[in-house]
Chain A
Amino acid sequence: MSRFGFRLEPRSYLPKWLPWAVPVGSFLAALLVGAIVLFATGQNALSVYGRILDRAFLSEGAFTGTLISATPLLFTGLCAAVAFRIGFFNIGGEGQFVMGAIFGSGIALKLGVDAPGIVSVAAMVVFGAVGGGLWGLIPGILKARFRTNEIITSLMLNYVAAVIATYLIFDSNSFWRELTGSGAVFPKGKILPTGSWWPNLDFGSIVVPFGFVLGMVIAAWLYVLQRKTRFGFEMRVVGGAPTTARYAGMKPARIVVAVAALSGALAGIGGAADIGNFRHVLDPKGLQQSGFGYAGIVVAALARLNPVAVVFVAVLLGGITNAGYALRGPDFPSGLVGVLQGLILFCTLGGEVLARYRITRSVRTPMNASALESA
């Protein structure tokens, strides 16, 4: 241990500006590394970044597009944030998102064209939450009841959910599938009745999708839940010290199950929002390709599991994603979105450690350098 690599030494003094400087510095560092990657592969980093910035935030209508891309990330980000906070590593946001989409689109189709818009939209939110919640409940119960590792179970359920969506559209004559017109030849889902399409709220220059507004409200609610309520207090104890929670008369298993369901429900609403605001049809391929569930974990990690911060991080990453869609083509390198997201996460993870610790080489020579060996 001592002769290899580096040692961490806790900083005794943490300046006030540090919590802000770390994310900003990490973001800039990620851009720098990204620029090196771009440069090394013969791309002009400045122009690529310029185009991303333009298409994400600056150009006409870009911000609306960014908010649309940010909405699913917001929900899956909240999904991961709330679960990770209590040490329940739900990486099944992907599958819970898909189940929410299936349930949400199902109820909209069921209610049909005659239902008032507000009823359809409300029903989609509820059913999306139920679909995702049920899917999140499975790893939650398995963990609480059998101590089964939730990472793997929630992960496996992502694939099962994807398979179910594929089955409904491509492999059966299900209620979701369009069986008339071109649908009889090429398998595709039924378009949702326009009444159930989620509204966009117009704030002059920016159009905000309803799903995003809903997500912001939920984020604020989660913040209050975590910081101000008895349940939130219990969540904090369970997250850091499950044995202590039990000792203090709490029921960690129940809390885990409840949070697992809540977490799944959040992703499920995201799935419903994605269909209500954007796709208006159950599209298994599109859902699978977008990978919102995994990206949500990135969002949550960058937001340090704070639900309010999730909103801002979702907009940032949504911007990059949106620009990636808009710029897709021969002169824009594919895969750059993932590279940037990954780099931002790497740099933030590393940056947080560097902020809290000093890294020192573990050296053999001077006697007094060995104080850090004690750590």
Chain B
Amino acid sequence: MSINDNLFVIIMASAIFYGTPLVFASLGELLAERSGVLNLGVEGMMLLGAVAAAWVSTNVDGPAIVVLPLAIVAAMIAAGLGASIHAFLTITLRVNQIISGLALTIFAGAAGLSSYLAGIWQLGQTPVKQQFGKIDVLGLSGVPVVGPILFHQTLLTYLSWVLVIAASFYLFRTRAGLHLRAVGESPQTADSVGISVSRYRYFHVIFGGSFAGIAGACFSLMIVPTWVDGMTAGQGWIALALVIFGFWRPDLTLLGAYLFGALSSLGLTLQARGIHISTALLSALPYVMTIVVLVIVSNTASRKQLGAPAALGKPYEREER
């Protein structure tokens, strides 16, 4: 048995594989929340992205190098459109963000538009034609331990790493990122120095939503890879928890996503090794852990220092005189 068949290596490799959609989804939610808008519609937006990507992959003919990027773009547009409903309702109409987000998930989710479109388009009867397979980066996949973990993943995983780095740079090293954080912390202050609060919020809710679309595409083009109603199986909700888990920071959110990926792959891997353990109970672990982490986080003296945007969930209107 080579060292790369080692349980740790297998679990780490699949943690990254299964954690990839979570990275996209939580990164997108992070951007929206940094602007002060909570979007509980992640699950719905993911499914919209998944169904759009599945349609492109199934129905557009052409080489993978054309079709797959097209599928990703389609997924981003579909989810972005969903997010724009939420943006309009919460930013312009100042509707309660919780209810609007839930409405989006119900509208687009497992028993909603995504399933409707998949039915109309007759998806799900066969696997999608083009999918993201694992690639061997620079022939390093055989390197002990790090090879399978870091150099034998799909392009989507590498894309997610690029986005995490870009998002960190954007948030903490650019002026636009500073403005974004200001809008999420204190829209009054941002407004008073001429930063357009609603423009920043619209942009980040919609752009962040399009990331959820990529997350959905991870399922229909990489993990499953076909269409199944409700195939994201609640991962969108996990993404919400991960943003808190990662203290609204892209890098920590990525780590959190892989931790969850590891836990959800642990049961399957152990069973394949003949170790008996209830997969059902094991799969509850991430959820319980999230609660525990949340309690610890919220009990630590100051949530502010941890990055929670102070204006999160609050609609902004210029103060009455």
Contact = CB atoms under 8 A, between A and B. Distances in A.
A–B touching in complex (CB under 8 Å): yes
A359 B265 CA distance: 50
Interface residues on B, range: 35 or more
Interface in A84-125: 89, 91
Nearest to B111: A338
Contacts of B108: 338, 342
Interface in B9-58: 40
Interface in A304-349: 333-339, 341-343, 345-346, 349
Considering residues B91, B198, B291, which has the most beta carbons from chain A within 10 angstroms of its beta carbon?
Answer: B291
Given A171-B278, A335-B119, A148 B94 contact: no
Contacts of B318: 1, 373-375
Contacts of A5: 91-92, 198, 202
Interface stretch (B67-75, B156-164, B247-255, B279-287): B279-287
Contact of B92 (A6, A298, A339): A6
Nearest to B95: A349
Considering residues B197, B298, B318, which has the most beta carbons from chain A within 10 angstroms of its beta carbon?
Answer: B298
A147 interface: yes
Nearest to B112: A338
Contacts of B145: none
B110 interface: yes
Interface in B263-313: 278-281, 283-284, 287-288, 290-291, 294-295, 298-299
A152 B240 contact: yes
B112 A335 contact: yes
A187 B132 CA distance: 35
A251 B234 CA distance: 35
A297 B299 contact: no
Nearest to B44: A342
A187 B284 CA distance: 20
B284 A4 contact: no
A294 interface: yes
Contacts of B94: 8, 353
A338 B103 contact: no
B109 interface: yes
B224 to A, nearest CB: 18
A159 B102 CA distance: 16
A42 interface: yes
Interface string A134-159: 00000000100011110111011101
Interface residues on A, range: 35 or more
Contacts of B202: 4-5
Contact of B106 (A89, A146, A148, A295): A295
Contacts of B113: 37, 335, 338-339, 342
A183 interface: no
A172 interface: yes
A349 B240 CA distance: 23
B44 to A, nearest CB: 8
Interface stretch (A20-28, A52-60, A160-168): A160-168
B218 interface: no
B191 A171 contact: no
Contact of B103 (A89, A91, A346, A373): A346
Given A148-B294, A152-B240, A163 B281 contact: yes
Nearest to A373: B318
Given A91-B98, A166-B280, A297-B99, 10 more contacts: A149-B294, A151-B98, A152-B244, A153-B295, A155-B240, A171-B280, A171-B281, A338-B109, A346-B107, A353-B95
Q: 6 smallest A-B Cβ distances: which pairs?
A: A342-B107, A338-B112, A335-B116, A335-B115, A338-B111, A163-B284
14 contacts: A4-B202, A8-B93, A91-B102, A152-B244, A160-B288, A167-B281, A171-B279, A297-B99, A301-B103, A335-B115, A338-B108, A343-B107, A354-B93, A374-B321
